[in-house]
Structure 1
């Protein structure tokens, strides 16, 4: 049995069950009968575009938004009626929500004071929480004196200091520059793994979700479009929306029959060993496209476009009187060159009835 990342350490996180949860604002349905179970110690991501319902769902789990239908359970206990302060969760906001007129110490200690933790313990726990996020000797400073990355760590320390079994994060890296986001992804994932708590993370950044998550729920229009591990989400998308939102892909409309796949433009691709039948869409990721010598492969194409992307060349190959297929290669192909094209892997999405 292959271990998942969340099984590699002893966990103390709680199981979260979202049981038929619905939420409306006025006449607008924002969440529509959501059913998801998040495992103890799992790093679980809610991924989707703005307005899909991911932040509303996170805030419903936290207790900030009352739900209109269904239940939310922590370790089997229905917490739906409980206010946020009775749910024992840590929450990291998108804008960090730090008190500008309070020191770092007072910001981190806030949750402990609300819980009436003895003063003799607060100092030790604040310093321990700051040490967990690799901040030392900053207790007397104010948030405005700190960089964006350090403010993000302070907000995380404030969430962790209460020792929650569940950590909720609402796009906590969206205000950071790209390079800092990349480094903090690894640090955050490593910390969550070491602590063994359950984490639910909201983002619209598909690269962030793929890198950090044990499982991902891709959302659109208040519904979960697909729930799976990152590899499955990327390699075997459940529908066109997931395929388009998570990564880049080539889409070719047509139909399967016993001889292969006929494109809507008339060309036939000799795709064998497929049990698919009927009309639908072929999905092929650019890195799954293989360039060969002309006359070898599923079809021939002409190099029509190329762009340097840093780690690879993105190149457009035009099938005669057909679609433009994008491929990623390490070296540039000469424009106008005729090449053979093959596919290492394809996903077929049957047309919706």
Structure 2
């Protein structure tokens, strides 16, 4: 087994020559920029994150501007990144940093871990990259590198394997070059030790890699035991005014699409008619669009869009959580991805007619 100091020397030498050093969050490094990038990069690829990060920094250049913003504006800029709890937690965390720490991120992994949306690995990344603190990380890329290097058996989501990997990560983290080492481990997993078809031929760890020696390094990390995702169904009511605006409701903070704006959910075309009759007191025709499937981490949701065009304008906005949204002059609201997709389809249809 390679000793910790040798491991870090090998990977740091590789980083100097091949590591990524020009990503947006690697410029003007400070705890705020590192934190935002780390949250955005959770379960999301670098190429996807870059434009979101740049827009976010332009609008919210520091923790004070983010803390004082409306949640709707934060979620509007998050629309399309998915896992929206990250956006809500980001906003809540900014407010806590301003209220409790006067806008300065705490200088310890334990205190950082107590902030909304920041786990041990994210806290380690913030501390090591922006503060020069020795702190191991264990994000998806690092788990993959370590489980392959040591041929660790078992799914990393289990407590036993997780504990083992933290011990390894702690032992391997050097007492110097903290920022570079953290970035190195992320880069190795993202660019060489990839999920499928790892580039073992040019990996600096290949000579000592136990996973490589098995002849099938891609078997590590072991997959999560498969469970079929349940299938769920819903219909979304696209209520349209004569001027083309559509009715949206803000969803509860908890649950799917928490805090985002969406079309009202109904069970069927018949339920849509009842909804319109009860709330607006009018009869209407329901137009069914093609249904489509949206996949969450834990289930598939089949969505049936139902459009109802009102003959007369309605001023009704529900119980203070309703909004008439004009696709031609869109409001800055956080939108669930399928809702954004349907709004774009509706706007395109309107232009064609």
**Same-fold call, TM cutoff 0.5:** no
More strand by share: 1
TM-score (norm 2): 0.23
